[in-house]
């Protein structure tokens, strides 16, 4: 197992290019199950999660090739409809093969993904949606088995206690594209990655309206064909790099960015006093003056993303003043707080709130990553801290950030990988 070593205190400067979005490429790969034709996905990030999804597609009988950001998926000798626990348990997004398998083969058996450190993470909304389409659903021995004689379009509400669900919207939309008649999903997730999946499905011949809004309409078609698609830039990687510029008091030009997907984050950073210059596909983030503390509440898109909460706490922990960070999507997503406190931060957890008292600076320390975005938060903290930080369990980081140490290294960071001593 590797750990990342960071010698902090260097202002990052230069240009960096954002990779394709993890949360787009995973459901888009699942959508290739809806056709026997070949599909080509461009701009695909080389991530641990991408590889997991490719393994799942292979286990379901697809042939896959991945070369320099281009994934080609084509039909193999025999198709299967069962997604195994060993693969699904390592990545929650793999549960979204349920919808396409059910739509294409009228049956699917997919392992339940299980919980993870950021919370319980149920799948009730996924199941509610496919049941509404007429599937017979049985949950037994850790697997969901779904069958139908042919799905039928239906009107449904998919909002939950914590708002809309991204992967449930993806799953149900993918099941509905081959169903008979009209499906209306109310309370749909509006995240850009859901809209990107819908754009790919449209290219495959699906009929979808309203994606990117809370009401999605899907008119079922008889069959889908192959398609080529380029995934949107990863807004969370972009946001993490923006915070890297600010926390190190640097100046970074970030390329391949879709700033319309970053509205809530840009607004918060400007409120904190950051200088952000936009052009068509680039953003320049500069630290010009001392930032001030701001309060942040995570919400479904277009609100402030929960996937940027941990990184924002890092920035606030070195920004003078008191900042209250409220987590509305995953109230237990605060594993990073204790690790930041080990680096000298003053953060107190009160239920779904983190109360951050910004201090002059953090001190490098050995810390442990607990999940993907918590790892990014610790890397940011390490970049700004005095001395050496060792972030262990970085396999979490590899799930969602392509070549992150190379990208940060090219911006001047002193960051390298070492083998973990046992
Ligand atoms: C997706 C993203 C993840 C992001 C999250 C919230 C992918 C691959 N992952 O995860 O990076 O953090 O959206 O923006 O796209 N919920 C239920 N019942 C369900 C499903 C979800 O109650 O059936 C709850 C969840 O526990 C959570 C909230 O709804 O509190 C939102 O979760 P959801 O949008 O489903 O997250 P994911 O799609 O798993």
374 in the same domain as 305: yes
> Are 132 and 223 in a shared domain?
yes
Same domain, 69 and 194: yes
Is residue 375 within 6 Å of ligand 1 at its C-beta?
Answer: no
**Cβ-contact 19, 233 below 8 angstroms:** yes
pTM here is 0.97
pLDDT tens track for 106-144: 999 999 986 566 666 789 999 999 999 999 999 999 899
Percent of the chain residues topping a pLDDT of 90: 89
Is 39 among the residues known to form the active site?
Answer: no
Same domain, 31 and 153: yes
Distance CA 95, CA 89 (A): 9
Identify the active-site residue in 116, 152, 190, 377: 116
The span from the CA of 24 to the CA of 27, in Å, is: 6
| Residue identifier of the C-alpha nearest atom 20 of ligand 1 | 123
The answer to whether the CB of 235 is under 6 A from ligand 1 is no
**121 & 11 share domain:** no
23 CB within 6 A, ligand 1: yes
Q: What is the pLDDT of residue 117?
A: 67
Residues 92 and 144 in one domain: yes
Q: Which protein residue has the closest C-alpha to ligand 1 atom 26?
A: 121
Whole domain around residue 287: which residue ranges?
2-19+233-419
| Residues 269 and 350 occupy one common structural domain | yes
Number of domains in the chain: 2
End position of a domain, from candidates 191, 212, 230: 230
Pocket test for ligand 1, best of 120, 165, 234, 310 (most atoms within 8 A of CB): 165
State which of 26, 29, 94, 160 you would mutate to test the pocket of ligand 1, scoring each by most atoms of that ligand within 8 A of its C-beta.
Answer: 160
Angle between helices 98-105 and 124-132 (to 10 degrees): 20
CATH of the domain at 256: 3.65.10.10
- One domain for residues 290 and 390: yes
Q: Which of 230, 252, 282 is the last residue of a domain?
A: 230
Distance CA 152, CA 34 (A): 16
* pLDDT at position 200 over 80: yes
358-395 pLDDT, tens digit per residue, is 998 999 999 998 899 999 999 999 999 999 999 999 98
């Amino acid at each position: 197992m590797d750990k990342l070593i960071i010698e902090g205190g260097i202002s990052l400067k230069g240009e960096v290019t954002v990779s394709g979005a993890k949360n787009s490429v995973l459901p888009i790969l699942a959508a290739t199950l809806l056709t026997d034709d070949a599909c080509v996905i461009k701009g695909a990030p080389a991530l641990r999660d991408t590889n997991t999804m490719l393994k799942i597609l292979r286990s379901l009988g697809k042939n896959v090739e991945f070369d320099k950001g281009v994934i080609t998926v084509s039909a193999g000798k025999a198709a299967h409809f069962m997604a195994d626990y060993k693969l699904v348990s390592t990545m929650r997004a793999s549960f979204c093969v349920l919808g396409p398998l059910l739509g294409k083969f009228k049956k699917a058996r997919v392992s339940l993904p299980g919980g993870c450190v950021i919370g319980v993470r149920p799948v009730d909304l996924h199941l509610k949606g496919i049941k509404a389409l007429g599937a017979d659903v049985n949950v037994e021995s850790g697997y969901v088995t779904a069958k139908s004689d042919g799905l039928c379009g239906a009107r449904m509400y998919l909002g939950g206690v914590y708002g809309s669900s991204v992967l449930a919207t993806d799953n149900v939309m993918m099941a509905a594209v081959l169903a008979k008649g009209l499906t209306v999903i109310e309370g749909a997730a509006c995240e850009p990655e859901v809209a990107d999946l819908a754009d790919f499905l449209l290219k495959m011949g699906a009929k979808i309206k309203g994606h990117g809004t809370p009401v999605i309409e899907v008119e079922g078609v008889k069959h889908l064909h192959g398609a080529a698609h380029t995934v949107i830039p990863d807004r969370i990687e972009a946001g993490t790099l923006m915070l890297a510029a600010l926390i190190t008091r640097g100046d970074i030009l970030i390329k391949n960015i879709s700033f319309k997907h970053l509205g809530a984050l840009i607004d918060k950073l400007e409120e904190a006093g950051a200088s952000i210059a936009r052009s068509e596909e680039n953003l320049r983030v500069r630290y010009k003056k001392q930032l001030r503390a701001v309060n942040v509440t995570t919400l479904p898109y277009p609100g402030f993303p929960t996937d940027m909460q941990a990184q924002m706490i890092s920035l606030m922990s070195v920004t003078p003043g008191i900042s209250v960070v409220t987590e509305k999507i995953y109230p237990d997503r605060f594993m990073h707080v204790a690790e930041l406190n080990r680096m000298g931060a003053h953060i107190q957890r009160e239920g779904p709130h983190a109360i951050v008292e910004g201090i002059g600076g953090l001190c490098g320390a050995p810390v442990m990553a607990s999940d993907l975005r918590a790892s990014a938060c610790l890397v940011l903290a390490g970049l700004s801290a005095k001395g050496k930080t060792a972030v262990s369990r970085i396999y979490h980081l590899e799930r969602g950030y392509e070549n992150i140490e190379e990208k940060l290294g090219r911006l001047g960071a002193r960051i390298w990988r070492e083998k973990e001593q046992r």
